[in-house]
Structure 1
Amino acid sequence: MSAVMENIMGDNAKPAAEAPAAVRGAEAANEARAATPAPAAAPRAARRRIAGSGAFMRIVPPLLGVAVLVLVWQIIALKNSSFPTPLATLQEAISMFSDPFYRNSPNDQGIGWNVLASLQRVGVGFGLAALVGIPLGFAIGRVQFLSAMFGPIISLLKPVSPLAWLPIGLLVFKSANPAAIWSIFICSIWPMIINTAVGVQRVPQDYMNVARVLNLSEWKILTKILFPSVLPYMLTGVRLSIGTAWLVIVAAEMLTGGVGIGFWVWDEWNNLNVPHIIIAIVVIGVVGLILEQALVALAKAFTYEQVSN
């Protein structure tokens, strides 16, 4: 009887003796899990490092570039007393932009009016070039006969400097303003024609075969197949044209006179006002950059990328 009781007591005592070991194992496992970092912590830290590196590359290198430019500018100003320092130019710019739209006389207006006058000429000439160049590019790309007919003419006239066309404009229009617009038109039209025609010629032949099988009209082919496919090429031509147009208008206005940023630069040179010339150069660059980036954003919005399987 006592042996049986001892056996029973021994069997009941075993779990009690083994329980502390099991508890200790569970506690050790919990401690190990607590000590182990969360799986998302490492990727989150890596993402923060990548974001910080990206912000560093976006901010610091441009600032260093500007600092180098200002340093070189300061050195040139120290070597040449007639050249204004960055600080003197900044003070003059603050004074100028405090009232950019004053108007004392037709030949004495603020820089804001001159920029707007130049933009107006660019807008008219560029718009006319788009109205003529884009449809002509579609026609040249679509019809082989027109491509062969206009190809030599475009190759001959495209390398001609836009300012070489200015005397022709003065001779034909008898006025400086239409002549400047004519120069913008003739320099803006070539990139639009060429890029649009190339875009039409690079439309996949399978698309045209499907259109032929479905017996689509030429209007349906133009609006449903050609235009969506050619749009990125066309916008690239437009972007190139606007940059060229803004370059040409400054030089054309120096020769034709009147109100405009080009004439304003030339007038300030005649007055030996070098700080104003430097300010005008910066303004011309900023306006050109804004026009360029606006069209780049437009082109990206309408550019379709093929998704790989």
Structure 2
Amino acid sequence: MSAIGISKEDIKTIMNNEQTVASNPVASPKAAVKKAARPAVAKRPSARALKLRAFFEWLLPPVFGVLAMIAVWTLISYQSPNLPGPVSTWHSAVELFSDPFYNNSPNDQGIGWNILASLERVGLGFGLAALIGIPLGFIIGRFQFMSRMAAPIIGILRPVSPLAWLPIGLLVFKAANPAAIWVIFISAIWPMIINTAVGVSKVPQDYMNVAKVLNLSEWKIVTKILFPFVLPYMMTGVRLSIGVAWLVIVAAEMLTGGVGIGFWVWDEWNNLNVEHIIIAIFVVGIVGLLLELALTSLARRFSYE
């Protein structure tokens, strides 16, 4: 026995205690420090929560914008007693759209017939502008001589106010309806010509060199090379044109009369029905937005990307 006097039983007890500490990481000081230093893993949100968050991020900003507009409108209506507020305008709109297609006389028809009449004029004028403007844009962008020849004409006529063309239409066509369609046509054609021509001029020269090497015909060049590349430019011109066309038709119908949303606004002004004028403003804006969304969807449908 040594001087310390440790027995065999004491040695066994010490060995058992060391094995217990080694097998238990919590009891080990080093293991406890490592566990405390390990960062906690944050719980990821579920897919449903992410979709719900994205939905509210998409929905809330427009809702707040509309509410802000209504609040400003309400404040202005309190300051100007002659301007109807949102509540009275809403009740008038409910009454107006309860029967939008009544027909008492040629000059007394529901707002539905007036909207359809305006859309018909816009469709005819816009269709003619697309039928002529898009091919003309391809020609101007494809041939340098045609581009230089058309530049002064476009530069002079494009800035002219659309309503300045109305007397010319009345003089030539001798009737209000074709004159209004003429104003739509001459106003909507310029964005389509310019954007299509710009798109054609930006086609990479390498594409045209390949077409020369393959000895492609002009029709093949247009359909296989130019059209896919120019389509985004062309659709931008189409969207701008439909906006201009729907904007101009209201002013043109105010001057020409007949059935149409512009004439309806002017007629309600003569009757001092300001609530109906405000309703017409919203109708014009909503219809214009729907037309632009339809063309945007069409552009995505036929996109080559």
Task: Tell me which residue corresponds to 2:262.
Answer: 262
Q: CA deviation at 1:195?
A: 0.5
Q: Distance in 2 between matches of 1:37 and 1:117?
A: 66
CA contact (8 A) 2:228 2:304 kept: no
Q: Which amino acid aligns with 2:218?
A: E
1:207·1:225 contact (CA, 8 Å) conserved in 2? Answer: yes
- 1:280 corresponding residue in structure 2: 280
Q: Following superposition of structure 1 onto structure 2, how do residues 95-110 of structure 1 map, counting pairs within 5 Å?
A: 95-110=95-110
After the TM superposition, which of the residue ranges 102-111 and 266-275 deviates more from structure 2? 102-111
- Asked if 1:89 is matched to 2:89, the reply is yes
Change (3 A) 1:266 1:20: same
- What percent of counterpart residues are identical? 67
Instruction: Please give the alpha-carbon distance, in whole angstroms, between the structure 1 residues aligned to 2:51 and 2:235.
Output: 33
Q: Tell me if 1:62 matches 2:65.
A: no
Query: Secondary structure of 1:160's match?
Result: coil
Q: Paired residue for 1:7?
A: none
Task: Name the amino acid aligned to 2:98.
Answer: S
How does 1:212-291 map onto structure 2 within 5 Å? Answer: 212-291=212-291
Matching residue's letter, 2:88: A
Aligned partners of 1:122 and 1:181 also within 8 Å = yes
Shift of 1:86: 1.2
TM-score, normalised to structure 2, is: 0.85
Contact 2:136–2:193, Cα closer than 8 Å, also in 1: yes
Structure 1 position 165 matched with structure 2 position 165: yes
Q: Distance in 2 between matches of 1:152 and 1:62?
A: 43
Matched with 1:125 is: 125
Amino acid at match of 2:260: G
- Separation of aligned partners in 2, 1:266 and 1:161: 20
Equivalent residue letter for 1:167: P
Superposition deviation, residue 268 in structure 1 = 0.3
Structure 2 distance, partners of 1:20, 1:88, is 83
Whole-Å separation in 2 of the counterparts to 1:18 and 1:80: 90
Say which SS state the counterpart of residue 104 (structure 1) adopts: strand
Distance 1:243 1:304 in 2: 24
State the alpha-carbon separation in 1 of the partners of residues 301 and 104 from structure 2.
Answer: 43
- The structural deviation recorded for 1:155 is 0.6
Alignment of 1:286-301 (within 5 A): 286-301=286-301
Deviations 1:245-302 (A, max 9, x none): 0000000000000000000000000000110000000000000111112222333444
Q: Is the 8 A contact 1:232 1:302 kept in 2?
A: no
Distance in 1 between residues matched to 2:48 and 2:100, nearest whole Å: 45
Deviation at 1:23, TM superposition (A): 6.0
* Other-structure match for 1:174: 174
Query: How many Å apart are 1:93 and its aligned residue?
Result: 0.4
Structure 1 residue runs of 5 or longer lacking an equivalent are 1-14
The structural deviation recorded for 1:37 is 6.9
Residue in 2 aligned with 1:198?
198
Letter in 1 for 2:196: T
Aligned residue type for 2:212? R
Q: Indicate if the aligned counterparts of 2:192 and 2:234 stay in contact, CA closer than 8 A.
A: yes
> After the TM superposition, which of the residue ranges 98-107 and 196-205 deviates more from structure 2?
98-107
Stretch deviating more after TM superposition (73-82 or 217-226): 73-82
How does the TM-score come out when normalised to structure 1?
0.84
| Structure 2: distance between partners of 1:156 and 1:51 | 53
Match of 2:79 in 1: 79
Distance across 2 between alignment mates of 1:91 and 1:267: 20
Work out the CA distance in 2 between the residues paired with 1:303 and 1:21: 70
The 2-side partners of 1:210 and 1:183 are apart by 42
